[in-house]
Amino acid sequence: MKNYITLSDIDHVETIIREARSLKSKNASSKPGKGKTLGMLFFNNSLRTRLSTEKAAKLLGMEVMVMNADKDGWALEFEDGAVMNSDKAEHIKEAAAVLSQYCDIIAVRAFPGLKDKEKDESEHVLNSFKKYASVPIVNLESATGHPLQALTDAITIQEFNKAERPKVVLSWAPHPKALPQSVPNSFAEIMQRLDVDFVITNPEGYDLAPHIRNGVKVEHDQDKAFKDADFVYVKNWSSYEDYGQVLNVEKNWTVDQAKLKNTNNAKVMHCLPVRRNVVISDDVLDSENSIVIHQANNRTFATQAVLKRILECSK
């Protein structure tokens, strides 16, 4: 694996899940990262990604440098040929080249603006780092995807699964702010690569991009979708059709215990952070149905497996 920018950088999902689970089961791991440095750049806030990635890198023996690029760095220009006479002080060409001398892997978090669909879908921040850096790039959540989270989610489902072919439902839930489609996009993509009965449920107007749904059943009735579900993955996202907008929804889509009644005592997942009693109710988050804390723990081992592969590939 040269980079981890999208899920297509993983050739066999099952193999990397096995590797992550094996790393989790071993307390003392080998140190293929000894003498190497991971540089992490955050253009947006984070708790789990920042700390689990640092932990994963250190478990592999790496040194870690972290920068809040939005607050502490120079404002970056990403346009080729730009006349930089405004607020942007440094071009990505120099920034990526310089960072490549300090770091052996560069990891970047850069959310979408949710105003210009074409610009967001071009993944200009991640792709500019890929273009101008001479070291591997890891996606810590970008405009359209969160592949480290998706790998974590797949590991977690495997750990808790008891069914031969589990029913997994990705459910939209309300949120006061316009959120990216990155997490549901990557979750939908990875579920299509596993042997699961995968259903997406969301209100009209919130269908994910056609190339993400890719023929997956979308059920606009949440109760129908939840019937016999083994796993319910809850997440808000803003509209793709009415790009980046929060639409009016008449029905209550908050996931509570009453909604879980028709499931197969479903395990409930969320990438976190979660707004209690808006996205998921207390009676679910505080119950045995919730596996969100276990899920967050798996971020470390998913990232460890990814970084290990990149280190092995760049030897």
Which positions touch ligand CP (CB under 6 A)?
46-49, 141, 149, 271-273
235 annotated as a binding-site residue:
yes
DSSP string, 19-46: HHHHHHH-SS---TTTT-EEEEEESS--
The nearest distance, CB 81 to ligand CP, in angstroms, is: 34
SS3 226: helix
| Ramachandran bin of 214, using left for φ above 0, alpha for ψ from -120 to 50, beta for the remaining angles | left
> Nearest distance from residue 144's CB to ligand CP, in Å?
14
Question: Is 148 annotated among the ligand-binding residues?
Answer: yes
Q: Is 109 annotated as a binding residue?
A: yes
Token readout for 108 is 């970047």
Least distance from ligand CP to the Cβ atom of residue 228, Å: 27
User: 200 or 269: whose CB is closer to ligand CP?
Assistant: 269
CB of 223 to ligand CP, least distance (A): 27
Q: Whole-number minimum distance, CB 199 to ligand CP, in Å? A: 22
Residue 18 assigned to a binding site? no
175 is known to lie in a ligand binding site: yes
Peptide bond into 136 cis (omega under 30): no
Alpha-carbon distance of 220 to 231, in angstroms, equals 18
Residue nearest to ligand CP (CB): 49
User: Would you say 17 or 148 has its CB closer to ligand CP?
Assistant: 148
Answer yes or no: are the C-beta atoms of 202 and 171 closer than 8 Å: yes
How many Å apart are CA 52 and CA 282, to the nearest integer? 25
**Omega within 30 of 0 (cis) for the link into 147:** no
- Amino acid letter for position 191: M
Residue with Cβ nearer ligand CP (59 or 140): 140
> Annotated binding residue at 21?
no
Looking at the Cβ atoms of 100 and 171, the one nearer to ligand CP is 171
Nearer of residues 137 and 148 to ligand CP, judged by Cβ: 148
In the block, tokens 């996009």 appear at 185
Q: Shortest gap between Cβ of 264 and ligand CP (angstroms)?
A: 26
DSSP label at residue 203: -
Tell me if 165 is assigned to a ligand binding site: no
Residue 200 dihedral angles phi and psi, to the nearest 5°: -110, 135
- Orientation of helix 48-59 relative to helix 147-160, angle to 10°: 80
Q: 113 or 273: whose CB is closer to ligand CP?
A: 273
Annotated binding site for carbamoyl phosphate: 46-49, 74, 109, 146-149, 271-272, 299
Binding residues: 46-49, 74, 109, 141, 146-149, 175, 235, 271-272, 275, 299
Which positions make up the binding site for N(2)-succinyl-L-ornithine? 141, 175, 235, 275
